[in-house]
Amino acid sequence: MIFRLIFIALLSITTTFASPNIVVSIKPIHSIVSHLTQGVTTPNLLLENQQSAHH
């Protein structure tokens, strides 16, 4: 039982220090997510301006 409590405590500590990694597909969604996560993390844009999301 004590092993489980220590394991859960260590697991919760590591997740509190990890910053989220967010990847978005297109520029409009990137803009929205950037605004929502301002000060927390910076989302990565998967497709550049000239690439199509449909191919």
Per-residue pLDDT of the chain (55 residues; tens, 9 = 90+): 788 888 877 777 655 666 788 999 888 899 999 999 998 889 999 887 776 666 6
Give how many domains the chain has, as a whole number: 1
Looking from the CA of 15 toward its CB, the CA atoms found within 13 Å total: 6
Q: Is 31 inside any structural domain?
A: yes
pTM, to two decimals: 0.58
Q: Is 14 inside any structural domain?
A: no
Contact indicator for 37, 19 with CB cutoff of 8 Å: no
DSSP state of 43: P
Q: Is 9 inside any structural domain?
A: no
Q: Is 12 inside any structural domain?
A: no
Q: Is 49 inside any structural domain?
A: yes
Q: Is 52 inside any structural domain?
A: yes
* Domain housing 41: 20-55
C-alpha distances in Å from residue 8, one per residue of 1, 14, 20: 11, 10, 20
Give the model's pLDDT for residue 11: 72
